[in-house]
Chains A and B, each alone.
Chain A
C-alpha cells in the first residue's frame, strides 16, 4: 500500500485544497499518471501518482479545503493496512471552524485584489502591470480575476524587464494614467530602483511641482519561506530613506485593502510592501474602514508597561508576545505602524508618555533600519519620558540563510520580542 499525501507545491504552502479527483476508487493507475488537481496558495497544480496499482481509497472529497501538507489523501495498492490515519489528520472541529472563519473574514490576498478591483471600477485610468499579473492570475494570485473583469488593456503581463516596466509606469503616470506596478517580489525592484527613486520620487520636486507621479509599486516584501538571501529582504528602510516616496506596509487584511485603496488614490508614488506569508492569512474585515489613511498607525492592544512598535508580519509576532507577557503581568501596548513613511511619530510618542518603555520590531536588517529611525526620533522628542534604553528586535545582519534552522535564527521571532521586553524592563530572561 502506498500513501498519496498532500504535497508541498510552493515554499509557503502549508495546506491545499483538493480541487478535483481525476481517478476514482478501483481505477488502475501507473506511476506518473495525473490523479488529482490540487489548489495551492499560488496556483492549481496537477498531482501525479508516485506508484503503480489500484486506487484503493480516496480519503478526501473534491472541494475539501485546508488539507495540511503531508496528510494522506489517497491509498494505492492492496488493502493490507488499517487506515486510521485519516481520523488522525482530520479533526472533527476543523470543518466547523472554517465555516465560521469564512463567514466574516477575508484573506490579505483577497483584500488586495478587492482594493484594486474596486478602484479600477471607478477610474478608467488605473491599470495593473507586471510579470504574470494577467493570464497566470498573479504569481501569488493577488491579481486573480482582474484580467477577466478588466481585460487585457488594463491588466497587462510584462516581459521580465523590471527597469523597463517601472520606467514605463512612471512615464504613463506623467502622461495622466494611474499605474499599479506589481513586482513579483520587491527583491526584483532592485533592478528598477533608479526609475523608482530618480524618476518617480524626485521629478515633482525637480519640476517645481509640475510633474506629479501617481503610481503604486506593490508586491511581496521581506522573507518568505526558505527562498534564501536573494529572495528574502525587507526594503522598508531603502525606500523610506528617499524623499518623494510614501511607504506603506500593512499587516491585516482590512488595512491591506484600505491602505491599497488610499495608495491608488494618492497623487504621489507609493511603495506598497506586502508580505507573502500573510497573503493567505484570514482577518475580519471591518466594512466601515473602507479607506485607511496613509500615515496613521494603529494601537492594536492597549497596555501600560511598555510599547511594542511593529509593522507587517512582525505585528502578529508582537501580539503573540504581548499575550505571552500578559501571563507575567506585563501589560504591553502594541502599535501597528501600517505606514512607514510618513511615520506616525505622534502616536508612538503619545504611547511612550504612557508606558515609558519601548521595543521596536522589524524583520529587516538592523543597520540603518526603520527601528533605528524610530529610536532616533523618540530620543529627540521624548527622552525625558523614557525609563529604560529602547530595545530593538530585528533580523540579524546577515544574508538570509537557506537552512531551516539558520533561517529561523536569522529572523526575529515572538520569543525575541518577549526577551526584548523583559530586557527593557530589566526583568530576568527565563530559560
Chain B
C-alpha cells in the first residue's frame, strides 16, 4: 500500500468522442438485468428532473438563499450508491440534493426543505445546503467547502471503533481538494486505516475557477499519494465506469486496507449556484458535454439496445415527472415552520 495506484478507466470527459462504445466494453453491463439498469436510470432521471424543478422554483422565488444544482453529475452518486451497502454512511458538501435522493430520502421532504417548510428534512431550518437523515445514514449537507471531509473521516472512525463493517462515502468537489483540512483528513485516515472512500467530484470548476487555474499537479486522484492512499481517475459521466471503480474502492476499504480516493471526472451543466452567470466557460463547451457525454442519455441508449421499448421509456419519464410534480406540490403546500420552532433544536 505504499505506492499510489492509478488506474485510468477512461480519458477525461471532454476529450472522449464515442462514449457509448466505451460503455459497452465495461463488464458490468452484461451481468446486470434490465430491471436493475432501469432502476439506475430512474434514479438518475429523478435527480435530473428534481433539480430542473428546483431551478424553476428558485426562479419563482419559492426557494431562497443558495441553491446548487447537480445536473450533469448524476452518474457519480447514483453509481457509487448502487455499489455501497445499506448502513454505509454518506456525507457531502452543499451540492447535495442528488446525494439525498440517491440515499433514498423522500423527494417530498427534500423539496419541502428547499422551500423552507415544516415538512422539510430539517423542518425548514437548514435549507438546500444543510439537510440530514439519520435514518438513511446521510450526514449532510455541509456548507463550508471541505469541512465535511474530516467529519466523514470521523464517521469512518466510528465505523471502525464499533467494528460494524460499514464504510463512509465522503464526497467532495474539486474546489475542496485545496483546503488544508482535506490533507489532515487524508493523513489521519491513512495513519489509522479508516474505512473511508474519498470521492472527488471533479466537475472542472470550483465556482468560476477552472481546476487548471486552481490546482497544481496533473491529477486529483494522486493527491493521496504522499499518504499511501491509492487513487483512481474515473469517467464520472459513465455510470458503469463509476460502478466498477466504486466496487474496487469499496472492496479495498471494506476489507480493512484503509482509505481510497476516486477522482470522478464529471461536469455540471448549470452554474455554480443559481446566481452564477457562468462567464468562465463557453456555451459550446457545455453543449458538447451534453451531446456527447450525458450520463442519462447514454444509459437510455443502452436500455434501447437492451430492448427496452420506447413506450416503457416514456412510462418511466411519466412516472418520474409525476414524482417530482408531487414533491413540488407537497413542498409548496407544506406550511411555513411554526414561529415556535425558532428556538427549538438549539440544545438537546
A contacts, CB < 8 Å to B: 125, 127, 153, 158-159, 161, 163-177, 194-195, 198-199, 203-212, 243-244, 246, 267-268
B147 touches A198 (CB 8 A): yes
- Which A residue sits closest to B121, measured CB to CB? A208
- Which residues from B are CB-within-8-Å of A243? 346
Q: A199 and B147 in contact (CB under 8 A), knowing A164-B184, A208-B126, A243-B346?
A: yes
A171 touches B154 (CB 8 A): yes
- B151-191 interface (Cβ within 8 A of A): 151-159, 161-162, 168, 180-181, 184-185, 187-188, 191
A159 touches B151 (CB 8 A): no
A208 touches B147 (CB 8 A): no
A171 touches B150 (CB 8 A): yes
Q: Which of B152, B185, B345 contacts A209 (CB 8 A)?
A: B345
B132 touches A210 (CB 8 A): yes
Q: Which of A153, A171, A199, A210 contacts B158 (CB 8 A)?
A: A171
Bound Cα distance from A163 to B185, whole angstroms:
9
A199 touches B142 (CB 8 A): yes
Going nearest first, the 5 A-B pairs with the smallest beta carbon separation are: A171-B154, A167-B150, A164-B184, A175-B158, A208-B123
- Which residues from B are CB-within-8-Å of A163? 150, 180-181, 184
Q: Which of A164, A173, A268 contacts B185 (CB 8 A)?
A: A164
- Which B residue sits closest to A173, measured CB to CB? B154
B346 touches A167 (CB 8 A): no
- B15-50 interface (Cβ within 8 A of A): none
A158 touches B188 (CB 8 A): yes
B125 touches A167 (CB 8 A): no
Bound Cα distance from A244 to B162, whole angstroms:
27
- Which residues from A are CB-within-8-Å of B168? 171
**Chain B, 122-152, contact with A by CB distance < 8 Å: what is the 0/1 string?**
1111100011111000011111100101111
Bound Cα distance from A65 to B138, whole angstroms:
55
B161 touches A127 (CB 8 A): yes
- Which residues from A are CB-within-8-Å of B89? 175
Q: What are 21 of the A-B contact pairs (CB < 8 Å)?
A: A161-B188, A164-B153, A167-B151, A167-B185, A168-B150, A169-B154, A170-B151, A171-B150, A171-B157, A172-B158, A176-B158, A177-B158, A177-B162, A195-B151, A199-B142, A203-B130, A204-B346, A205-B346, A207-B122, A208-B123, A246-B347
- The residue in B123, B153, B184 that gathers the most chain A C-beta atoms within 10 A of its C-beta is B184
Bound Cα distance from A163 to B188, whole angstroms:
12
Q: A212 and B348 in contact (CB under 8 A), knowing A176-B162, A198-B143?
A: yes
Shortest beta-carbon distance from B62 to chain A in Å: 19
Bound Cα distance from A173 to B161, whole angstroms:
12
B134 touches A211 (CB 8 A): yes
- B89-107 interface (Cβ within 8 A of A): 89, 91
- Which B residue sits closest to A165, measured CB to CB? B188
- B329-347 interface (Cβ within 8 A of A): 344-347
Bound Cα distance from A158 to B188, whole angstroms:
8
Shortest beta-carbon distance from A168 to chain B in Å: 4
Shortest beta-carbon distance from A272 to chain B in Å: 16
Q: A167 and B154 in contact (CB under 8 A), knowing A177-B161, A206-B122?
A: yes
Bound Cα distance from A164 to B162, whole angstroms:
21
- Which B residue sits closest to A164, measured CB to CB? B184
- Which residues from A are CB-within-8-Å of B143? 198
A170 touches B345 (CB 8 A): no
- Which residues from A are CB-within-8-Å of B125? 205-206, 208
- Which B residue sits closest to A168, measured CB to CB? B154
Bound Cα distance from A205 to B188, whole angstroms:
29
- Which residues from B are CB-within-8-Å of A267? 348
A164 touches B142 (CB 8 A): no
Bound Cα distance from A331 to B151, whole angstroms:
52
- Cβ-based interface call for B120 (8 A): yes
B345 touches A174 (CB 8 A): no
Bound Cα distance from A159 to B194, whole angstroms:
15
- Which residues from B are CB-within-8-Å of A166? 150
- Which residues from A are CB-within-8-Å of B144? 194, 198-199
A164 touches B187 (CB 8 A): yes
Bound Cα distance from A199 to B144, whole angstroms:
9
Bound Cα distance from A195 to B188, whole angstroms:
16
Q: Which of A161, A171, A175, A268 contacts B347 (CB 8 A)?
A: A268
Shortest beta-carbon distance from A172 to chain B in Å: 4
B158 touches A208 (CB 8 A): no
A206 touches B155 (CB 8 A): no
Bound Cα distance from A98 to B151, whole angstroms:
47
- Which A residue sits closest to B150, measured CB to CB? A167
Known contacts A158-B188, A163-B181, A167-B181; 4 additional CB pairs below 8 A are A167-B147, A206-B122, A208-B123, A210-B133
- Which residues from A are CB-within-8-Å of B154? 167-175
- Which A residue sits closest to B122, measured CB to CB? A208
A159 touches B187 (CB 8 A): yes
Q: Which of B130, B147, B152, B153 contacts A206 (CB 8 A)?
A: B130
Shortest beta-carbon distance from A211 to chain B in Å: 5
- B79-121 interface (Cβ within 8 A of A): 89, 91, 120-121
Bound Cα distance from A246 to B347, whole angstroms:
9
